[in-house]
Amino acid sequence: MEIWPASDTTFTADNRHPNSIDAAYYFIFDGNEVLLEFNESDQWVPLSKLDDELREDSVRHYMGEFSGIDCFAVEAKLKSRSKGGLRSLIGQTDHFMFSLAGRAAQILDWYRTHQYCGKCGQKTEDHPEDRAMVCQQCSIHSYPRLSPSIITLVHNEGQVLLARNHRFPRGMYSTLAGFVEPGESIEETVHREVFEEVGVKVKNLEYLGSQPWAFPNSLMLGFLAEYDSGEIVLQEEEIADAQWFSCQSLPMIPGKVAISRWIIDTYLQRMGLNISLL
């Protein structure tokens, strides 16, 4: 099984603008919407240069270098241009571009929401070196925010426990997920979330990998968890249904861009099933 996410050794993060730019990728957002312009093969690619319309009033953040090409997150007014939510890139671009677009979205969201100090209300200033906004009065540094969350597949001798959230498309089931609370270890979150959502106890947690998920600032930590005890009891405000499924007869599950799918595929492969048939 490949490492999740495909290890991106060609990206070097940096927040200091380069002195000169030969070629660049501009990930351009207007609020939560990204500029959608496709090449001849219908693949989404960020713009290589900013035209006059976009240069005006735009805010640019240097993100780093991807395969020798400088990358910028840009906030601009996309007046009559084609745009859509970040999710509209799923299936329209490769893993690397999707992940860089997610990175850009998070940097811009942080910058947009940290223009004033949360304590005294004074206007913040850019830190001269770090990616941080600073209140000179309180010396508070605000870095881009991350919200760790867990995502876990509960399994029991070849069966997997999948649930559907009320918000899921019809027929879609997935792994269980939830945010880490202050003061909680990641492992405690797995036990708590599984018990809250479906009422069962788990044991033998196994960490598999993580995925940044920019909706809006999540870092998903993926686990396998072995069933221990209990019957399924739904947390009805959140979960519409949860069931044990045999690996041979799974319901509709998320696409391969999501870590939930990778966790499921990893388990199926361990059970000796050919996941390419799914």
Instruction: CB nearer to Zn ion: give 43 or 137.
Output: 137
Q: Report, in Å, the least distance between residue 87 CB and Zn ion.
A: 35
The gap from C-alpha 77 to its chain's centroid, in whole angstroms, comes to 24
Q: Report, in Å, the least distance between residue 119 CB and Zn ion.
A: 5
Q: Report, in Å, the least distance between residue 123 CB and Zn ion.
A: 9
Q: Report, in Å, the least distance between residue 135 CB and Zn ion.
A: 3
Contact yes or no for 124/114 (Cβ under 8 A):
yes
Q: Report, in Å, the least distance between residue 121 CB and Zn ion.
A: 7
**What is the rounded distance in angstroms from the CA atom of residue 9 to the CA atom of residue 23?**
19
Instruction: CB nearer to Zn ion: give 87 or 141.
Output: 141
Exposed e or buried b for every residue in 204-223, given b needs 16+ CB within 10 A?
Answer: ebeebbbbebbeebbebbbb
Instruction: CB nearer to Zn ion: give 93 or 124.
Output: 124
Residues that bind Zn ion (CB under 5 A): 117, 119-120, 122, 135, 137-138
Instruction: CB nearer to Zn ion: give 140 or 275.
Output: 140
Q: Report, in Å, the least distance between residue 130 CB and Zn ion.
A: 17
Instruction: CB nearer to Zn ion: give 114 or 155.
Output: 114
Q: Report, in Å, the least distance between residue 116 CB and Zn ion.
A: 8
**What is the rounded distance in angstroms from the CA atom of residue 220 to the CA atom of residue 210?**
5
Instruction: CB nearer to Zn ion: give 87 or 119.
Output: 119
Dihedral (CA of 170, 171, 177, 178) sign: positive
> How many other CB atoms are found less than 10 A from the CB of residue 48?
10
The gap from C-alpha 275 to its chain's centroid, in whole angstroms, comes to 23
Widest CA span in the chain: 62
Instruction: CB nearer to Zn ion: give 47 or 140.
Output: 140
Q: Of 134, 43, 59, nearest to 91 (Cα)?
A: 43
Tell me which residue has its CB nearest to Zn ion: 117
The gap from C-alpha 160 to its chain's centroid, in whole angstroms, comes to 24
SS3 23: coil
The count of residues in the chain is: 278
SS3 198: helix
